[in-house]
Chains A and B, each alone.
Chain A
Amino acid sequence: MADEEISALLGRVALRDRDAFVALYRQTSPKLFGVCLRILKDHSEAEEALQEIYVKVWQRADRFATGQASPMSWLTAIARNHAIDHIRARKPVANAIDEAYDLADPAPDPERSAAVRSEGRRIDACMEELEKDRAEAVRRAYVEGLSYQELAEMFAVPLNTMRTWLRRSLLKLRECMER
């Protein structure tokens, strides 16, 4: 399905066009339902989440800026964020961002550039530079919305080890993509 078509539908939804909203729902809801099912792992919770997600899409359609992101990525981000909020509320995890971060390897700050949009899909190449299990942990965290605790159990490593894995992997990915 062409991005342009979804962008056009989003534009009409921003104008409160109900037919366009239904058309957008019909075209995009299977993917977003897939997101909800994968993260929430419960059919009725996924249905409820999907309903709330499309209410948000209706409310936020006017914030979608054509050309800024793919419309499908934009919609998927709304769905992921909603589903992740839902599951974090259901299964709370420890707060962490006010704690110390063990990032190690303090390389000099790479030159900061504003080349935010030019990286394309190089993430795939950079993922291959990570150790296999860490790349797998990064991918599963994203796709399944797993917490550090769940990832630690899945990979049979201590919680803090998993935190360090993912945080250092994020830094390596960032450094790889800025190369």
Chain B
Amino acid sequence: MTTQNPESGDFRRDEVIAGEYVLGVLSAEDRRKVEARMASDRNFAAMVDRWQHNLASFDDAYEAVRPPAHVLAAVERSIFPPAPVAAPPVGFWNSLLLWRSLAIASLAAVAIMGASMAGLFSEPQSQPLVAELSGEGNTINLVARFDRTSGSLKLTPVAARQPEEKSLELWLIEGSNPAISLGVLPQSGEGELLVPPEMRTKFIEDATLAVSVEPLGGSPTGLPTGPVIASGKARHL
């Protein structure tokens, strides 16, 4: 595609090409060129996004038609193939040694954090509660931030971009009570969970937040089943 350098270029021509791409009138080869340019030129990609956003109001023209049932079955067959009989590949997430060492490391971290955080709780209740969830010696850390008025609990997991076989589940532990699930963490970027109203009163300083590794979609039993990879106590910011 002989379009110019994005800084100096002919915006009008670029706008037209971006619009033609979204309209769909270009040839297959030209569509690939446009996509390659989108990947390397953010200004141009923004033009395409803007057309996409503008022209989406034409989507109203598409009438809903229920597809035949066999399509979903075919989709499921291609996404969820039957489990292989062979032993699973030993990757990062499947390494037993890793989980053992993480579990041990995180137990140590709980003890260390518990000790180091004693005496930090003197701020007024209206401040957000934060907890740093970490396991010593591993690469997974989370920062949890609880806003009492909205009930939102923001998490920044560093366990993003992991393979997809596992889910990270967040737990709230009050004293010696059983852990209560706060939900499964988003696998990428900053996570935000809405704490159910009935659980907000349980969200107090000194409560422990912990993250465990669970089967896809979360613990099947309602209690943590996998290793705890990070935990920490809530304190006022």
Contacts and interface: CB of A to CB of B under 8 A. Distances in A.
Decide whether A and B are members of one complex. yes
Interface of A: 11-12, 14-19, 21-22, 25-26, 29-31, 33-35, 37-39, 47, 50-51, 54-55, 58, 62, 69-70, 72-73, 76-77, 80, 84-85, 88-89, 92-98, 101, 103, 106, 109, 112, 114, 116-117, 119, 121, 123-124, 138-139, 141-143, 145-148, 151, 166-167, 170-171, 173-174, 177
A33 B33 contact: no
Contact of A34 (B64, B71, B76): B64
Given A25-B75, A51-B75, A76 B62 contact: yes
A170 B16 contact: yes
A95 B19 CA distance: 16
Nearest to A62: B188
B33 A145 contact: no
A38 B164 CA distance: 35
Q: Which label, helix, strand, loop or mixed, suits the secondary structure of the A interface?
A: helix
Interface residues of B, number: 60
B62 A166 contact: no
A85 B28 contact: yes
Interface string B153-175: 00000000000100100000000
Contacts of B65: 30, 33-34, 37
B34 interface: yes
B27 A73 contact: no
B54 interface: yes
A15 B26 contact: no
A65 to B, nearest CB: 8
Contacts of B108: none
Contact of B53 (A84, A117, A151): A117
B25 A119 contact: no
A34 B74 CA distance: 18
Contacts of B16: 101, 103, 167, 170-171
Contacts of B19: 170, 173-174
Nearest to B185: A15
Given A17-B216, A89-B28, A142 B67 contact: no
B46 interface: yes
Contact of B57 (A37, A77, A116, A124): A124
Contact of B1 (A98, A117, A123, A124): A98
A31 B61 CA distance: 10
Interface string B172-185: 00000000000011
A170 B74 contact: no
Contacts of B29: 95
